[in-house]
A and B are shown apart, each in its own frame.
Chain A
Amino acid sequence: MADTTVPYSTGDSKIGETTIGEMRELAARYPEGRSALLPMLHLVQSVEGRITPEGIEACAAVLGLTGAEVSAVATFYTMYKRRPVGDYHVGVCTNTLCAIMGGDLIFERLKEHLDVGNDETTEDGKITLEHLECNAACDYAPVMMVNWEFFDDMTPESATQLVDDLQAGNEVKSPRGATICTWKEAERVLAGFPDGRADEGPTGGKATLAGLRLARERNWTAPAGAQARTTDDSRKED
């Protein structure tokens, strides 16, 4: 079981001139700089692996706010973490539909398998396990997320295999996303610094295309007057 206490500051903050410069860059993208606060806090996590007091003070200094004002925001949103997050943030949806379809059993199995509780990190620092609220993929229930990439139609077996692969350092791909990067790298993209991997992965999964495929099979289209479709069978996704 991971230690659940954490010192206020560890004294080894990595926030430096580079990060401060990037914070100013984010603030300059908005009509009013404070709008960049959420992205800036994502940036803090990408550098520090969590929200640190130094990160909060840096945001405050760049935006002309007090540390208390920044803390008030940081503590409101569930994606901001006070305790260090592992290389892989593994989420299991346990909102009603996913829970009933098997999410509860998957979450129980993973807690046992990884020997951690909710919002705790494995001894090796690799995996932080958390139960999630609805992640907008209900047609793929039960759903898991790794560093906020989708893992669809999960079972207790596929879930344990997934975390075993992550812990072993094997390459893992999201069925509707990219090859899994680290949590810090993901946080950098959320902050607004693209990693150039948008072209990985498919257009969508089976459920996304369920209605469209049926419409194609049965030659159903929107009424005439619709813009001529340029569907070319040779270019279709599998």
Chain B
Amino acid sequence: MLTPVLSDNWDQIRSWQLASYQRSGGYDALRTALRMLPADVVTAVKDSGLRGRGGAGFPTGMKWSFIPQDNPKPKYLVVNADESEPGTCKDIPLMLASPHTLVEGVIISAYAIRANTAFIYVRGEVLHVIRRLQQAVVEAREAGFLGTNILGTGYDLDVIVHAGAGAYICGEETALLDSLEGRRGQPRLRPPFPAVAGLYGCPTVINNVESIASVPSIINNGADWFGSMGTEKSKGPTLYSLSGHVTRPGQYEAPMGITLRQLLELAGGIRDGHELKFWTPGGSSTPLLTAEHLDVPLDYEGVAGAGSLLGTKALQIFDETTCPVRATLRWTEFYKHESCGKCTPCREGTWWLVQILERLEAGQGDESDLEKLLDLSDNITGRSFCALADGATAPITSSIQHFKDDYLAHFTNGGCPFDPMLSTVFATAGATA
């Protein structure tokens, strides 16, 4: 049922240190990869069917193959470790427990695309993760896995751990590049795509932490092994993150295509005495699902078929004590705060959405306001450079679709009919604010 691969060494003592990682077979894949031609490493990752774990699900090996090797400019690998999508909490524990899994993946991946400089762009708000990444890079360099003439192969690679400074938008790959160039993190218009003109205008691959960390296991065990887990078009094991009103929240590494019903069984179910009301399959930018979607296979195709997106597999679980209007307003406030301001529909639209939702939560509104929200959402979605605006409207349109009665109850009640205390983890402990 569960298939720990990335998480397999997380219960080893000092799993973040090089010595511990090597006791678990760490850096064996690097030795194997460096005996292969770079193009064969790309082929192996292509054949595995690995798709980007940062939310979009683009085939990783194909992304690498877009790098024009006849371009004389330097090539760069950039790891997107700016994990900030609400609900998403898989890359941070991975890097805290086993930063070397990522560093080994970085070296193999950079070798595959013939990059001599790689960056790990990690959000700034995770001090201890940054400490462990910094130490892992130093350890890897001292062991001869980084620097010049790696393991005597003539291949050179430098890895730079780069801390961000608080901006959700920098998880968007072109905004990340601008930020890494020392600018405001605002998305770029595409094309050109980063594979052609990325960091400093050079060919650049940007991959999520989990994608890159999956590479050593593919090199060690083969593309067929990776593809033996998961579904036809969504292959491999992956980290599902359960949070919210579940008995045992946490990281569950399972083959692609497991269902929420199965995951909830593993996590001890919805907290005692309560029932599932709604959930996000992959962070707040993915439309809400309900109990009728418990058996949807959690792969890219399955979740898309249910009208949502697999996203980052961040399963935020809410029980019947949760007000969907309050949840939606809070997410909308988040998108308003994080809109970079570049595109008008997003910059202005997210403010309008918040203003209307604040009024509705206070019970001041009627059914025509819901039409207005949907109309605004329709004018915001797909009209900006990046997907932030699309994400902003996802909770609004899906919550109105599934929970219109809860919105209407705010109007008849003259305010929120839910008691916020009941949804807290300490509700049963008798604590008060």
Residues of chain A having any CB pair with chain B under 8 Å: 29-32, 34-39, 41-42, 63, 72-73, 76-80, 91, 94-97, 99-102, 104-106, 108-109, 132-142, 145, 147-150, 153, 155-157, 174, 176-178, 186, 189-192, 194-195, 197-201, 203-204, 206-216, 218, 220-223, 225-231, 235-237
Contact = CB atoms under 8 A, between A and B. Distances in A.
B424 A213 contact: no
A225 B222 contact: yes
B225 A223 contact: yes
Contact of A194 (B4, B135, B327): B135
B74 interface: yes
Contacts of A227: 25, 28, 217, 220-221
Contacts of A91: 125
A223 B134 contact: no
B10 A136 contact: no
Interface stretch (B79-87, B290-298, B349-357, B368-376): B79-87
B238 to A, nearest CB: 11
B129 to A, nearest CB: 9
B166 A222 contact: no
B182 interface: yes
B123 A136 contact: yes
B327 A96 contact: yes
A212 B10 contact: yes
B184 A76 contact: yes
Contacts of B125: 79, 91, 132, 135, 145, 148
A231 B12 contact: yes
Contacts of A136: 83-84, 88-89, 91-92, 123, 126
B96 A204 contact: yes
A37 B185 CA distance: 12
Interface in B275-299: 284
Nearest to B326: A100
Contacts of B102: none
20 contacts: A96-B284, A96-B330, A97-B87, A100-B322, A102-B426, A139-B241, A156-B433, A157-B431, A178-B131, A192-B161, A198-B16, A198-B135, A203-B98, A204-B93, A207-B250, A208-B10, A210-B267, A212-B10, A215-B2, A227-B28
A138 B425 contact: no
Contacts of B183: 34, 37, 73
Given A35-B180, A138-B316, A198-B135, A189 B11 contact: no
Most buried by B among A73, A133, A135, A231: A133
Nearest to B81: A136
B206 to A, nearest CB: 15
Interface in B94-110: 96-98
Contacts of B145: none
Nearest to A193: B134
List the 10 shortest-distance A-B pairs measured between CB atoms, nearest first. A210-B250, A37-B182, A207-B250, A211-B252, A105-B433, A77-B165, A138-B243, A177-B128, A79-B166, A78-B166
B85 A134 contact: yes
Given A95-B334, A208-B250, A137 B89 contact: yes
B166 A208 contact: no
Interface of B: 1-5, 7-8, 10-17, 23-25, 28, 74, 83-89, 91-93, 96-98, 117, 123-128, 130-132, 134-135, 138, 160-168, 179-185, 200, 217, 220-222, 224-225, 228-229, 237, 240-245, 248-254, 266-267, 284, 314, 316, 318, 322, 326-327, 330-331, 334, 337-338, 340, 420-421, 423-426, 429, 431-433
B269 to A, nearest CB: 13
B134 A198 contact: yes
Contacts of B241: 138-139
A105 B420 contact: yes
Contacts of A192: 134, 161-163
Contacts of B126: 135-136, 148, 150
A93 B327 CA distance: 14
A95 B200 contact: no
B312 to A, nearest CB: 10
Nearest to A91: B125
Contacts of B97: 203-204, 208
Contact of B182 (A63, A133, A194, A206): A63
Contact of B244 (A101, A191, A215): A101
A139 B304 CA distance: 25
Most buried by A among B23, B74, B426: B426
A194 to B, nearest CB: 5
Contact of B131 (A35, A106, A197): A197
Nearest to A95: B86
Most buried by A among B165, B181, B237: B165
B338 A133 contact: yes
A199 to B, nearest CB: 7
